[in-house]
């Protein structure tokens, strides 16, 4: 049974990693090792029926560790992940630090699990939460029809920016609601300017922000570049055409993506449903409420706390017989981060 460490054990994703290890009865030798900053050292966190004391991260801390789950930010991963790997641990890193490194596999457990076994640097990367959610629904369709192009617009929850993003959303919402309906309806600019925007570039409450991440090359944000580059790497499609737009929405948890997927082969709704049926980690929720069908489509709120990715609004494109339109939703803290990291650890433990 592996000796397991969690780096960033006190954070939002680290907390969910701890919960997932316990819920999934991951085979841990003894108690897991909780590592965090000096500030958190000495505090205790729960593990099953007991507690484990948090230790400060150090080179010596990784002695005897077999698997190290990292969720402490990119700078800490760059500093400490190689140290952990050199000490003999397999690192599963949740940051963006190593995702595009050609010697580091980028793994979604249901999509490319075999890639986790090839790790020249002893590190496996966890993809961006938006990319990961989309890949779970896209892979079975790619296998059936041959994906050539993706046009994706994401609707990303405030929780994607961590607990500070959730706090800012809730505090701003309370303040704007207190201002009253008339102010929101007649002087929205003043209402938007009346709240402090620190985590996001503008007020996130009762709003939609066409700015998710930081602007980078070609006037696309880093979140949009992640969607492009990571999709290509995960699917082993270096020439895949991807047109991304990432949007932040006033949702606590749950990322949604509207995707127009184009394939080498013609595609119909019926054939797509057959390809999606039984796909691992995926639930189809698709009904119009007409002709005896129940009304069913995915929502971020309904995805919160669910391990599975939800897909719906599956329909043939109106202008191209090779394209399909879908709406995909997943919990960004679960499948989008902590759960997939633990699933990768399960693949490693089973070797």
| Both tokens assigned to 110 | 């249901």
Q: Which fold has domain 4-127+337-349?
A: Rossmann fold (3.40.50)
Q: Strand, helix or coil at 135?
A: helix
Tell me which residue of 159, 161, 3 sits closest to 73, measured CA to CA. Answer: 161
DSSP 182-251: HHHHH-HHHHHHTS--SSSSS--TT--BS--S-B-GGG-BHHHHHHHHHHHHHHT-TT-EEEEEEEE-S-
Q: What percent of the chain has pLDDT over 90?
A: 99
Alpha-carbon gap, residue 317 to 263, rounded angstroms: 12
Whether the predicted pLDDT of 12 surpasses 90: no
Whether the predicted pLDDT of 173 surpasses 90: yes
Alpha-carbon gap, residue 311 to 327, rounded angstroms: 6
Q: Which fold has domain 131-157+208-332?
A: Dihydrodipicolinate Reductase; domain 2 (3.30.360)
* pLDDT tens digit sequence for 216-269: 999 999 999 999 999 999 999 999 999 999 999 999 999 999 999 999 999 999
* pLDDT tens digit sequence for 176-210: 999 999 999 999 999 999 999 999 999 999 999 99
Q: Strand, helix or coil at 149?
A: strand
| Both tokens assigned to 132 | 């990961």
State the pTM of this model: 0.95
Whether the predicted pLDDT of 162 surpasses 90: no
Whether the predicted pLDDT of 102 surpasses 90: yes
Alpha-carbon gap, residue 229 to 246, rounded angstroms: 14
Every domain of the chain and the residues it spans: 4-127+337-349, 131-157+208-332
Using DSSP bridges, classify how beta strands 255-263 and 147-156 pair: parallel, antiparallel or unpaired: antiparallel
Catalytic residues: 129, 255
Alpha-carbon gap, residue 199 to 163, rounded angstroms: 10
Tell me which residue of 8, 77, 274 sits closest to 286, measured CA to CA. Answer: 274
CB 70 within 8 A of CB 77: yes
């Amino acid at each position: 049974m592996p000796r397991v460490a969690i780096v960033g054990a006190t954070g939002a994703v680290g907390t969910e990693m701890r919960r997932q290890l316990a819920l999934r009865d991951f085979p841990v030798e003894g108690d897991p090792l909780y590592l965090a900053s000096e500030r958190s050292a000495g505090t205790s966190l729960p593990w099953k029926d007991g507690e484990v004391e948090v230790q400060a991260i150090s080179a010596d801390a990784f002695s005897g560790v077999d698997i190290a789950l990292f969720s402490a930010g990119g700078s800490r991963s760059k500093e400490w992940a190689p140290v952990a790997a050199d000490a003999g641990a397999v690192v599963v890193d949740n940051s963006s630090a190593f995702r595009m490194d050609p010697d580091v596999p980028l793994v979604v457990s249901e999509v490319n699990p075999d890639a986790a076994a090839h790790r020249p640097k002893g590190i496996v990367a966890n993809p961006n939460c938006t990319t990961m959610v989309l890949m779970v629904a896209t892979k079975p369709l790619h296998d059936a029809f041959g994906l050539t192009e993706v046009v994706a617009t994401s609707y990303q929850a405030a929780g994607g920016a961590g607990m500070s993003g959730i706090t800012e959303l809730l505090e701003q919402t309370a303040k704007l609601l207190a201002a009253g309906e008339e102010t929101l309806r007649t002087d929205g600019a003043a209402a938007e300017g009346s709240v402090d925007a620190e985590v996001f570039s503008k007020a996130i409450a009762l709003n939609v922000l066409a700015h998710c991440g930081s602007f980078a090359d070609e006037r696309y944000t880093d979140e949009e570049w992640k969607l492009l580059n990571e999709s290509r790497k995960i699917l082993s499609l270096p020439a895949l055409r991807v047109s991304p737009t990432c949007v932040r929405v006033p949702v606590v948890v749950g990322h949604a993506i509207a995707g127009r997927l184009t394939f080498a082969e013609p595609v119909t709704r019926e054939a797509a449903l057959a390809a999606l049926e039984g796909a691992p980690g995926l639930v189809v929720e698709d009904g119009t409420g007409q002709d005896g069908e129940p009304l069913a489509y995915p929502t971020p709120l309904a995805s919160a706390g669910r391990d599975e990715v939800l897909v719906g609004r599956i329909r043939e494109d109106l202008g191209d017989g090779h394209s399909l339109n879908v709406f995909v939703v997943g919990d960004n803290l679960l499948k989008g981060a902590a759960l997939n990291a633990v699933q990768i650890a399960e693949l490693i433990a089973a070797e």
